[in-house]
Structure 1
Amino acid sequence: MKKTLIAAAVLLLSAAACTPGSDSPSGGTSAPSTVKTDAAALGDVQLTVWDQEVRGGQAAQMTELVKQFQAKYPNIKITRVSRSFDDLKTTLRLALSGNNAPDVVQANNGRSDMGEFVKAGQLLPLDEWAKAYNWGSRYPDSVLQYSRYSADGKTFGEGNLYGLPQVGEVVGLYYNKEKLTKLGVQPPKTWAEFEDALAKAKAAGEVPMQFGNLDKWPAIHVFGTVQDRFVPADKITTLAFGRAGASWSTPENTKAAETLVSWVDKGYFNQGFNGQGYDPAWQDFGKGNGVFLIAGTWLQADLQKALGDKVGFMLPPGESADAKPVVTGGTGLPFAITNKAKNADAAAAYINFITSPDAMKILTSTGNLPIADTSAQQAPPGLASDIFSSFGTAVSKEALVPYLDYATPTMYDTIGASLQDLLAKKATPQQFLTTLETDYSKFAGK
């Protein structure tokens, strides 16, 4: 991929003089007026880091980077606490309000997490460190916007910088090559071919699509993939960023909800999917059970290890083979500095280290998709090549749309619970969309 290609990705992903941790009049937390970047000269420091890099390739890259950081800066000791996405989301809010808050955390970009933490003054603006470390040379504004908020937490995508991500993400279709071959089916080039492949898999006694929705959030990605086929990309972006000017209660969104329900009616998902966890579902796919899996690129290393050359990855197809793709994606969870960090300069040095060009090489070698310097990496053949190519296509064609739970401070819970009800036939498509519209309109109307 060319650098211009990655620059397009980022295009799509479209300071008071106070001490760290002091409260600004707006209720946010002000950036320091001066910062230090010589980590070796900071004296003995202990940093507690919370992240959600628990799966194979994710854990491997963090383990290696922490090892290298401490070798380079023996004066800074890292205590790393690794939690699953769900555990981190559940515990982080309470931890940040306590007296023993971690120094560095991965915080979900959306308003329900990062936005609320910014509003409460619990994260430090990183703008002065961004200048000192020249992060803008590695991360264009179109990427950094996903970690920007106004100091009061109300405006998403503009304002101060509160985090820095390591990875890029695309939600697409993993598929079992052997099973498609046995079905006499090629990787689908159109949406109709995809649904036809699901039908053929069902008829042949296969599980057409592995899906585990006990955690509620996985359905957001599955619904988003269906929505991307029917709703204009600009409308999805407006909804996902919680901006006024769009509506959930439209014929296109109704069509998307009805399509998802039809997949339930046709038996395209595994039995008991609403009561199965996300990890058991993709692990089952990795054992050869299921033809397709809608999931993100973060599973690359684990599924490569489990299935080898039997697994492929592609962007969800459009109405026609040459249709411009629309795909859910963006950045991974950014790393942020809490307002109670014992040494914010050391925390910033850690974030700089794990997002450096050398770090991006380690991410690539451990089966991850780096968000910076992507074009400089050599993706291994097989699944990694599929994923790098898919990300490059999504970027070059300006095809990425944000995650739907970003929309409002309560949308993560609202859409997750509502999708469980929709899939369980406890709510009709119209009732489902009315619930989302109520949440969205209350926020976007303010």
Structure 2
Amino acid sequence: MVRSRSILAAGALLLAASLGLTACGDSGSGDEGADAKTLTLWHYEGPTSAMGVAWAKAIELFKASHPGVEVKFEGKGFEQIQQNAGMILNSDSAPDILEYNKGNATAGLLSKQGLLTDLTEESEKRGWDKKLSPSLQTTTKYDGDGIMGSGKTFGVPNYGEYVMVYYNKDLFTKHKVAVPTTLAEFESAMDTFVKAGVTPLSVGGAEYPAQQIFYELALAKADRAFVDDYQLYKNKVNFQGPELTFGAQTFADWVKKGYIAKNSAGIKAEDMGVAFTQGKFPIMISGSWWYGRFASEIKNFPWGTFLFPGNTLHPGSSGNLWVVPTKSKAKKLAYDFIDITMRPEVQNLLGNNGGVPVAADAAAITDPKNKELIDNFAKISSSDGLAFYPDWPAPGYYDVMVGGVQGLINGSKTPQQMLDEVAKPYQDNLTDLGR
């Protein structure tokens, strides 16, 4: 569901209060916190996810190499940080290091506001830049307007991610459905499920997943020039043009055809994923961040993945960024922790738990399914097929996209109305930037 302003405000006040309670104690002194004895670290990955497992190991290694330093790890919700990051990082209760979403509307906005530490020099000194391919570095750099792709380095990812199609092999076999290789075959497969009384897609319309389906459909008609125009502001974007029109119209058609349930407008990402693990839906379109969790939790049926049929461009990028707030009291410790997450032992662990490492030893990845996951990412990345995410271009665009796609699901908006709605804040942001 879309949260009301009053709920968000209440949540922000509660979070601020909790921050005041957890920020007590000496976190060190000096610009880089050279004498700090505490590292406060936040991230929002589940403990059984690939990132959660790998970062727990990184914390263990950090403690071993920093005797006398306490690590205060606090798990946060994605939405909690997404909605309140600006307020949090502008306070004296900012953590020393945290996971944060990449893109113009998130890390770019905070860098523009002066809330993130410039990591350019540290990245070059420690060799982080050399471990990241040029396409992965796109999301780490932001110019003075907070636009990604150039400028200073404000974050470091230690994994990659991309959107794919997860499928229940038992349900595919039961209904005699083959893995599709084209969009037409994909729709034919979903028609088969609908005729059998099965809703094909597990969808979370209240958060990010539904808008990623819309974007996958738009990318079916897009090329790299469109992505650069939309994401990097290289040229004006026509929101009624063939790419976005196809995405919105086809998404609306999928709802009418029964591929997407109308009640999914109120479903959150977590509930979408749980429904798939319970075998209630044959297909789920979402990111590689689910992969390790599914490998751990799905016990009752075999499952697999395939890339969105027919597309050469896919939502995806580097993973979320480790960022160091300007108000961090232990910056040197934060840099040391980032360095540990790039070590082979952490990278290999990430890869063997269903993640997509950026600097692993390929020979050390032992599971065939994990190798397939990593190989598919390498295929997309090496062919310049990472198209980022639909909510990245403008501040506040995440909620705009959620609301727009919800309108397509519940039928309150036509595709044209939806596109007009999401076009306005995008164009307003361009005006604010003087572009």
- Residue type of the alignment partner of 2:142: Y
Counterpart check, 1:112 vs 2:105 = yes
- Counterparts of 2:121 and 2:109, CA distance in 1: 22
- Counterparts of 2:79 and 2:321, CA distance in 1: 16
Other-structure match for 1:11:
none
Other-structure match for 2:335:
348
Q: 1:397 to 1:180 in 2, by over 3 A?
A: same
- Residue type of the alignment partner of 1:433: L
- Counterparts of 1:372 and 1:302, CA distance in 2: 21
- Counterparts of 2:382 and 2:227, CA distance in 1: 19
2:91 to 87, 92, 98: 98
- Counterparts of 2:121 and 2:391, CA distance in 1: 29
Give how far 1:397 is off: 2.7
Q: 1:142 to 1:276 in 2, by over 3 A?
A: closer
Q: Please show how residues 235-250 of structure 1 align to structure 2 within 5 Å.
A: 235-250=226-241
- Counterparts of 1:44 and 1:117, CA distance in 2: 24
Give how far 1:186 is off: 1.4
Give how far 1:55 is off: 5.0
Other-structure match for 1:14:
none
Counterpart check, 1:431 vs 2:417 = yes
Unaligned runs of 5+ in 1: 1-33, 319-323
Q: Please show how residues 193-212 of structure 1 align to structure 2 within 5 Å.
A: 193-212=185-204
Other-structure match for 1:306:
297
Other-structure match for 1:252:
243
Give how far 1:104 is off: 0.5
Give how far 1:377 is off: 4.4
**1:74-108 Cα shifts (integer Å, max 9, x gaps):** 23221111112112212322211111111101121
1:67 to 55, 60, 64: 60
1:190 to 158, 182, 207: 182
**What is the percent sequence identity of the aligned residues?**
25
2:155 to 158, 163, 174: 163
1:414 to 386, 400, 406: 400
Q: Please show how residues 70-85 of structure 1 align to structure 2 within 5 Å.
A: 70-85=63-78
Other-structure match for 2:21:
none
Give the paired residue count: 401
- Counterparts of 1:88 and 1:145, CA distance in 2: 22
- Alignment check: 8 A CA contact 1:242 1:443 kept: no
Other-structure match for 2:172:
180
Give how far 1:245 is off: 3.0
Give how far 1:374 is off: 6.4
- Counterparts of 1:125 and 1:271, CA distance in 2: 45
Give how far 1:188 is off: 0.6
- Counterparts of 1:374 and 1:256, CA distance in 2: 38
Other-structure match for 1:7:
none
**1:50-82 Cα shifts (integer Å, max 9, x gaps):** 111125223222222211211121232211111
Unaligned runs of 5+ in 2: 1-29
Other-structure match for 2:360:
373
Other-structure match for 1:54:
46
3-state SS in 2 of match to 1:179: helix
1:132 to 125, 135, 143: 125
Other-structure match for 2:17:
none
3-state SS in 2 of match to 1:272: helix
- Counterparts of 2:59 and 2:239, CA distance in 1: 43
Q: 1:376 to 1:123 in 2, by over 3 A?
A: farther
- Counterparts of 1:179 and 1:390, CA distance in 2: 24
Give how far 1:349 is off: 0.8
- Counterparts of 1:142 and 1:229, CA distance in 2: 20
Question: What TM-score do the two structures reach when normalised by structure 1?
Answer: 0.85
Counterpart check, 1:226 vs 2:217 = yes
Other-structure match for 1:329:
316
- Alignment check: 8 A CA contact 2:255 2:261 kept: no
- Counterparts of 1:399 and 1:127, CA distance in 2: 26
Q: 1:245 to 1:214 in 2, by over 3 A?
A: closer
- Counterparts of 2:302 and 2:203, CA distance in 1: 19
Question: What TM-score do the two structures reach when normalised by structure 2?
Answer: 0.87
- Counterparts of 1:301 and 1:424, CA distance in 2: 32
- Alignment check: 8 A CA contact 1:147 1:334 kept: yes
- Counterparts of 2:192 and 2:167, CA distance in 1: 14
**1:345-370 Cα shifts (integer Å, max 9, x gaps):** 11111111112232201211322111
- Counterparts of 1:307 and 1:201, CA distance in 2: 21
Give how far 1:162 is off: 0.4
2:256 to 237, 257, 265: 265
Other-structure match for 2:309:
317
- Residue type of the alignment partner of 1:208: P
- Counterparts of 1:281 and 1:72, CA distance in 2: 40
Other-structure match for 1:27:
none
3-state SS in 2 of match to 1:403: coil
Q: 1:439 to 1:287 in 2, by over 3 A?
A: same
Q: 1:271 to 1:254 in 2, by over 3 A?
A: closer
- Residue type of the alignment partner of 2:156: L
Q: 1:405 to 1:77 in 2, by over 3 A?
A: same
- Counterparts of 2:258 and 2:288, CA distance in 1: 26
- Alignment check: 8 A CA contact 1:240 1:405 kept: no
Other-structure match for 2:272:
281
Other-structure match for 2:386:
400
3-state SS in 1 of match to 2:357: coil
Other-structure match for 1:363:
350
3-state SS in 2 of match to 1:302: helix
3-state SS in 2 of match to 1:121: coil
Give how far 1:376 is off: 5.2
Give how far 1:275 is off: 1.2
- Residue type of the alignment partner of 1:394: I
3-state SS in 2 of match to 1:406: coil
3-state SS in 2 of match to 1:71: helix
Other-structure match for 1:145:
138
**1:273-331 Cα shifts (integer Å, max 9, x gaps):** 1111111111110111111100000001111123357110111111xxxxx62211111
- Counterparts of 1:74 and 1:220, CA distance in 2: 45
**Pairwise CA RMSD of aligned residues?**
2.1
- Counterparts of 1:154 and 1:281, CA distance in 2: 32
